[in-house]
Structure 1
């Protein structure tokens, strides 16, 4: 749910890469790097030391732009080692696959040489794990032609000079034309048939062709094979022997090339562990270069990694929205959460004001830090969280027989069951799918549970329209109110997108409806109805207060009797038994 809601690899609406965090961070040059980047996003690190190692590597890459550019250029010519080796192991690799494997191996020494200019622990580890795969590249470069065919059965895969037997067979083929030409010349001289020629087709093989005008010169040893309109085709024993020699050599060449290729492929399979380690290290280099490129292009900052439970972000930005937003400048916001007095931020404000964007950006900045990437902020101190939970929006799941509200409650139930003190929880509008009083009650109960439960008490951002939750700040430790600043301009409003301390008790729902394009007739009628409802609500409150003041309070009467009797009694003059009887008598009024 969190991966989907935070749009890590695809957007919620269109299921597209553009508009996701992956789209922002993906500057990888290899297929291996793309797969690893996606796995990093879906499975962030929770070990602070490993996170710091990644961040240090990215920092060094950003500080050496020339080397970074050279690495990216080399990586752009690296083939998918993982997929190539899969085909090698399943014996489905083609000559071009082995050539791609070799061409990639030839680039590895340059990558290793460039990595020597960095002293990052992670970059050095990657360099140590990269093998130059010389055994593979030497064999393939010596054995396979520079531009091999797709299929080994097509022939011309193995280079001349690699195998003596293959070279001998090829000499027979190359000399075959001379053999046929010699036979044709001798037959012309023997028979006196000047236009005698030797041809070939797949059905009859080699044949001697004689036109009608020379039929009387055809010798007896010619065996008729085919009669055409103006010529006859013949074969001879000598021609048949030559044919068998030439065609036999062709078949043997195809078979021998397949055998040699299989041996090369099988040798490559013995290098599986080396290739796998190299592929993983190269993919990691690709991802780190991608992070460095994103950091430089988008003005990201290296976050501090902590374990004290504090998330402190100065001028944080949403990494996706700031790039997608073309018409206006993105408004940055600060965030401070801890495990004591700032555990829960209750955020109020109208729809479309930026509450969801703000909460998502906090989650994304935290996640980016934990995958080892720089973050969109002026400063960020991120304490490692063990899990990120989100409850943002909901839709019917008709196939499972669940309504919007049921889906919402299922997500909330999952959060309260599995979140820990070290988790980060994002809650957006809990309790909206039911009646107002039910919704307020659920939202408040969830807030109280998360904030006060000993096993939870986790860092939480809670956006809500229920203004009744503002009172939680005074009633619960660790809860703080925030709101989105709004500027009124006559009957309209302008969202300032700035998160400020303090709650708001206005929803601006009608103003937002107006911004959405509802006709003025509906807007004006909605204002009239709102005024009526507010007036009726005010009258009801006044009436209730009046009834309460007019009613006789039996509690007050009892309190008055007890007080009056206590004033009139001197307990110092009473015996113990009298005092006990007096207290028993007073208890009747309590």
Structure 2
């Protein structure tokens, strides 16, 4: 009887208790956001109806917290009139995916009413954030990684709006090289030419796509800066204007612990491919002719120059671009 009486009393006050619980939950969430913002130096973003996105010294909230310091901030600017689609190239482990995710997270945090991890941010209202990041399959549904990727890409292309933010990472990597390049190129062109002009971040290892910067007026090339020192590569984590000079895949494989004979063989094969001679054989017999997947050095330099906007370069960025051009010219 006592328990039934207690239930009756609680039930009589249920509307008040429910409202109190909702208020406490909201207060708890707001207090948590405020505490994180204060502790980690977040700033209040400006929200605008213009379909633009500007972030100065943005940071990834999770990576920054886990790393415990030393996170390299980066700027972002998206504008459907001038800088609608950013093509981002650079090596694995360089920070491309982190950069993509931090832009999406900063946008999402801003629209939840939170402060954001940046020195300054002006976020144009976004009605949906589309992401195609990472690789996964659907074994139960009988779908390969590539099929899942294509289904997600198809959904993005069919649901675009003028206020969409699109984040694509390595489109087309799950199939052959020529198929992958063709699909990635066509997707990038569609996003650029669509009437909706969605703000887009497009990370890729297909350096051929950097030619879009010279062909499409609202495409801009960015890359992750890398320094070479005594035969080693150093990831600077800084996003700079212009395409990456090369992918550094063999160097990353060596850093990952791939045996040195395998790395040496990969370098030899890469040298053959870059000169248009196909794979380099181990014996004296000549290698079979093969269509080159890579442009000549002059074409690479031309693409690099075509993707640069000198009006937007800072002195430091100009030096980084010049260093890359010198390295490319020296071969």
If the TM-score is normalised by the length of the shorter chain, which range does it land in?
0.7 to 0.9
Select which of 110, 113, 117 maps to 1:372: 113
Residue 414 of structure 1 deviates from its aligned partner by: 1.1
Q: Output the CA distance in 2 between the equivalents of 1:425 and 1:263.
A: 56
2:260 counterpart residue number: 520
Q: Output the CA distance in 1 between the equivalents of 2:276 and 2:192.
A: 36
Select which of 100, 112, 123 maps to 1:382: 123
Name structure 2 gaps, 5 residues minimum: 279-288, 293-331
Q: Does 1:352 align with 2:75?
A: no
Secondary structure in 1 matching 2:234: strand
Map 1:311-322 to 2 at 5 A: 311-322=53-64
CA RMSD of aligned residues (A): 1.8
TM-score (norm 1): 0.46
Secondary structure in 1 matching 2:226: strand
Select which of 398, 414, 420 maps to 2:155: 414
Task: Summarize deviations over 1:59-97 as a string: whole Å, max 9, x none.
Answer: xxxxxxxxxxxxxxxxxxxxxxxxxxxxxxxxxxxxxxx
Q: Does 1:336 align with 2:77?
A: yes
Select which of 219, 242, 248 maps to 1:508: 248
Q: Output the CA distance in 1 between the equivalents of 2:81 and 2:273.
A: 41
2:225 counterpart residue number: 485
2:236 counterpart residue number: 496
1:141 counterpart residue number: none
Select which of 106, 119, 133 maps to 1:392: 133
Q: Does 1:470 align with 2:207?
A: no
Map 1:98-137 to 2 at 5 A: none
Q: Does 1:291 align with 2:291?
A: no
Residue 261 of structure 1 deviates from its aligned partner by: 4.7
1:559 counterpart residue number: none
Q: Output the CA distance in 2 between the equivalents of 1:530 and 1:261.
A: 77
2:146 counterpart residue number: 405
Q: Does 1:361 align with 2:97?
A: no
TM-score (norm 2): 0.81
2:13 counterpart residue number: 271
Q: Output the CA distance in 2 between the equivalents of 1:449 and 1:407.
A: 20
Point out the structure with the larger helix share: 1
Q: Does 1:443 align with 2:184?
A: yes
Secondary structure in 2 matching 1:470: helix
The change in CA–CA distance for 1:346 and 1:536 in structure 2 (over 3 A counts) is: closer
Q: Which has the larger radius of gyration?
A: 1
The change in CA–CA distance for 1:540 and 1:402 in structure 2 (over 3 A counts) is: closer
Q: Output the CA distance in 2 between the equivalents of 1:384 and 1:376.
A: 18
The change in CA–CA distance for 1:523 and 1:274 in structure 2 (over 3 A counts) is: same
Q: Does 1:453 align with 2:194?
A: yes
2:309 counterpart residue number: none
Secondary structure in 1 matching 2:225: strand
Q: Does 1:429 align with 2:170?
A: yes
Residue 264 of structure 1 deviates from its aligned partner by: 4.2
Secondary structure in 2 matching 1:427: strand
Map 1:188-207 to 2 at 5 A: none
Q: Output the CA distance in 2 between the equivalents of 1:268 and 1:530.
A: 74
Task: Summarize deviations over 1:15-36 as a string: whole Å, max 9, x none.
Answer: xxxxxxxxxxxxxxxxxxxxxx
2:43 counterpart residue number: 301
Q: Output the CA distance in 1 between the equivalents of 2:161 and 2:227.
A: 38
Q: Output the CA distance in 1 between the equivalents of 2:10 and 2:215.
A: 69
Residue 494 of structure 1 deviates from its aligned partner by: 0.7
Q: Output the CA distance in 2 between the equivalents of 1:463 and 1:491.
A: 26
Secondary structure in 1 matching 2:10: helix
